[in-house]
Structure 1
Amino acid sequence: MAMFTIASGPAAAAPVRLVAFGDSLTAGYNLPTASGFAAKLEAALKAKGYDVTVVNAGVSGDTTAAALARFDWSIPKDADAVIVELGANDMLRGLDPDIPLKNLTEILTRLKARDVPVLLAGMRAAPNFGVDYQRRFDALYPQLAAEFGVPLYPFFLEGVAGNRGLNQRDGLHPTAAGVDRIVAGILPYVERLVASARAAAQ
């Protein structure tokens, strides 16, 4: 049987089905579908030769609890890999960091039970919540990544948060150019995720 080379990225018989499971940052709040994270990530992967379908499973306004409640129907059984991007709305509501910790633990536990490769996208607390809250919230993601042995993209909004030119008027959601910056930052991590999904399928 002919073997494909994972490192070179390109093709195999069936596309990798990658689910982007998150909130408005994944959903593409107030953006055309083609300008959202899932669409732009898929385009970037295809431009590098990967045969990948990125499923947009983002719901604007979702907390980690809301995402957990829809887990079973949001992540289809045929998902080959999952990006988990959640927690911003818990933080914006000032919820105790133990709440997203508990919910993300359950989400990652369920994905581990499915034996699905995962990339965890980190979030950081806004400075107005204070140093103690920031410390506790920001620590969730490295803690979970270590506990479950999954790769971590440290901050989903790296290079975008606080940049007026890359955010919509609300200062919270990226513009199309902001999404481009997010995709550029996370892309190497996603390439490794796709490689893991290919390897798991062998």
Structure 2
Amino acid sequence: MLGRTYAGQAARRPDMGHASMLRHDGRRAALAFLIVSLLMTLVTPLRAKDRPLSLVALGDSLTAGYGLPADAAFPVQLEAALKAKGHAVTVANAGVSGDTATGGLDRVEWSVPDGTDGVILELGANDMLRGTDPAVTERALDAIIATLKARGIPVLLAGMRAAPNLGPDYGKRFDAIYPRLASRYDLILYPFFLDGIAGDRSLNLADGLHPTKAGVARVVAGILPSVEDFLKRLRQGS
């Protein structure tokens, strides 16, 4: 009888021990899961803030780097300047020489791929040189910005100014395009893309319209604080 009782107890002990081990392992697994979940909660926002940002420079020959080696174009020099200041960013060149604002609108969907974090929009110089009605230019730029906004892609607007020979009336109407759009869409505005180099022969090619490599470097130095503000806005929104 005692033998049977002892044997029965002995037979049950392994099962009881196994159940205890399972409970212990379950608690350890639950604790590990909780720790991992907490770590992921803390780490994920940091990763989102630290990941490289992808910018696209959508523009005309001033963006494309007309007459310059590929490594001297605005997007390349801008990316290098940003990286030198510690920013994790890439700047893709979506500049097309001769493009107008309407031309940019026609290609914005395929020039700005999905996954783009922000766009530097530099268009309108060719409209101005051709004497295009400023209302046409503004409608096209407005549509580009609206299209990108609908895709959740913020815009930094690089402005242009009319040449004096086009007359004061045209100049007033054209120059008002960019501040008005920036106000309408709450955009960061760099008022004049060619600030500091327009009319300076030493910083322009022989045509007097397109910057040299040194001229592009001057453009980059001028716009850099605005781009850094733009990156800060992008990070805060991520």
Q: TM-score, normalised to structure 2's length?
A: 0.80
Aligned to 2:87: 50
Counterpart residue number, 1:172? 209
Task: Determine if contact 1:116/1:197 at 8 Å carries over to the other structure.
Answer: no
Q: Match of 1:8?
A: none
Q: Which has the higher contact order (CA 8 A, sep 6+)?
A: 1
Give the aligned partner of residue 126 of structure 1.
163
Question: What are the residue-to-residue correspondences of 1:7-156 with 2, within 5 Å?
Answer: 12=50, 14-156=51-193
1:119 touches 1:151 (CA, 8 Å); kept in 2? yes
Q: Which has the larger radius of gyration?
A: 2
SS of 1:60's equivalent in the other structure is coil
Q: Which amino acid aligns with 1:121?
A: A
CA RMSD of the aligned region, Å? 1.5
CA shift, 1:198, in A, is 1.8
Letter in 1 for 2:206: R
8 A Cα contact 1:122 1:153, kept in partner:
yes
Report sequence identity in percent: 59
Give structure 1 regions of 4+ aligned residues with deviation exceeding 2 angstroms: none
Aligned match of 2:22: none
Q: Take 1:191 and 1:76, find their aligned partners in 2: how far apart are those partners?
A: 22
Alpha-carbon shift at residue 139 of structure 1 (Å):
0.4
Q: Hey, which of these two has a bigger chunk of helix by percent?
A: 2
- Consecutive unaligned residues of structure 2, counting only runs of 5 or more, are 1-41
The count of aligned residue pairs is: 196
CA distance in 2, matches of 1:118, 1:72: 14
Distance apart, 1:115 and its partner CA = 2.1
Unaligned 5+ runs, structure 1: 5-10
Residues 17 and 79 of structure 1 are in contact (CA less than 8 Å); yes or no, is this contact kept in structure 2?
yes
